[in-house]
Amino acid sequence: MKIGKKYSILSFLFLSIFFFLNCLTENREGNDFIIPLGNARIGDSSNTNASPIQIQFTYSASSYTFVKNESIATLAPTGVQNVDYYSISPALPGGLSFNPSNGEISGTPLVAFAPTSFQVSAFDLEGNVSQKQISLEAKALNWENQYFLKGSNLLANHGLGVSLSLYGDTLVAGAYGDTSFAGAAYVFKRNGSVWNQEAFITAPIRTGSDVFGLNVALSGDTIVVGAPFEDGNQQSISTTPTSNLTLSNAGAAYVYRRSGTVWNLEAYLKPTNLNGGDNFGRYVAIDGDTIVIGAPREQSLDTTLRFGTDASTDNAGTAVGAVYVFKRTGTTWVQEAYLKSHLAANNDQFGSEIGITGDALVVGVSQDDTTASNL
């Protein structure tokens, strides 16, 4: 009887081991299996249809605009569900901080920056993630000192900055006292927040007291420079200045055009009725292909508006003043108009300041002594 029981037990163990080894063999062929010794289950897929945990959060807007050096209202996510921590990429600009525990953005932007996309990621402890894109920018609405400019050839009494004109990222500054008041102009170009000198401009023929650069104007890639005490004896437009310097203090204007980073002389402007002492070029203005030039000491008492190259030659007055309009087609400049005040009088200095935009121009008459209070 005892022998039979031992035999039965051995038979049961043998069958169990055989069945176990058989299951291992089947698993090598890629089949799932159950070991009958215990309750553990291998390859259980009973939870594959369960819904994943949903992470939810958002910000009140998709874009935000700040002001440099001004504290921002804290940006906090809303509608938060199942979030344990946050991250942001790329890193925030200087002065702004991100709290990874609650996703809040706060601080004071220390630099101005263009609209930039940031990705905020929210995680749970199991590694699930949800992401949102927000756009941030900071504007430099508050005026600040950006750069201190000095010319490369600057010496005492050169007077850099006596006249200025800015267009986009290009600045031209007159230095009328350069080289015994022959004068010069500097061109500066901005790249990002950095200004560099691009050009140093002088007249092709330089003589003392021409005061080239006493007035400058810039539009696009064109600069006009006035030299109101230049002595060139010429009454027409050319591409090179005259060497006949016998018309004392008549004045001239020089037009320069940029190609790449090089500024070249495009025209030497002289009006058709120029006389000594007119101070043509004392004031200059430009808009696109139109240049306006004041000659505040021009001497005609004429009150007629004249067009083309027509201009009065009476020279009967003193410091009456006139304004000339020049127009460009391609690279060619022509005199378009000769403008006078309808109340022209001695010492008015019509053209003592000028401005132009589009088809409208304004002329100052600094010494007008009429008593009229309206047009």
Reported as a single tens digit per residue, the pLDDT across 246-255 is 999 999 999 9
Nearest to 294 by CA among 286, 302, 357: 286
Q: Which two tokens stand for residue 271?
A: 């009006």
Start and end residues for every CATH 2.60.40.10 domain found in the chain:
56-139
Q: Which residue, among 62, 73, 53, 71, has the nearest Cα to 120 in the 3D structure?
A: 62
Give the integer Cα–Cα distance in Å for 305 and 207: 34
| 313: Cβ contacts below 8 Å, ≥ 6 apart | 273, 300
Fold (topology level) of 56-139: Immunoglobulin-like (2.60.40)
The whole-angstrom separation of Cα 227 and Cα 206 is 10
Span 160-365 CATH architecture:
7 Propeller (2.130)
pLDDT at 44: 42
DSSP class of 247:
S
Specify the domain boundaries for CATH 2.130.10.130 within the chain.
160-365
Question: Which 8-state DSSP code applies to residue 109?
Answer: -
Residue 356 is predicted with a pLDDT of 98
- Which pLDDT score, from 0 to 100, does residue 354 have? 97
Convert the pLDDT of each residue in 310-331 to its tens digit. Answer: 999 999 999 999 999 999 999 9
What gap in Å lies between CA 269 and CA 235, rounded to an integer?
9
* Residues 303, 339 contacting (CB under 8 angstroms): no
Question: From CA 280, how far away is CA 274, in angstroms rounded?
Answer: 8
Structure tokens at 128: 């699930």
Low-confidence ranges of the chain (pLDDT < 70): 1-52, 373-375
Tokens of 77: 């996510």
Confirm whether pTM is higher than 0.75: no
pLDDT at 192: 82
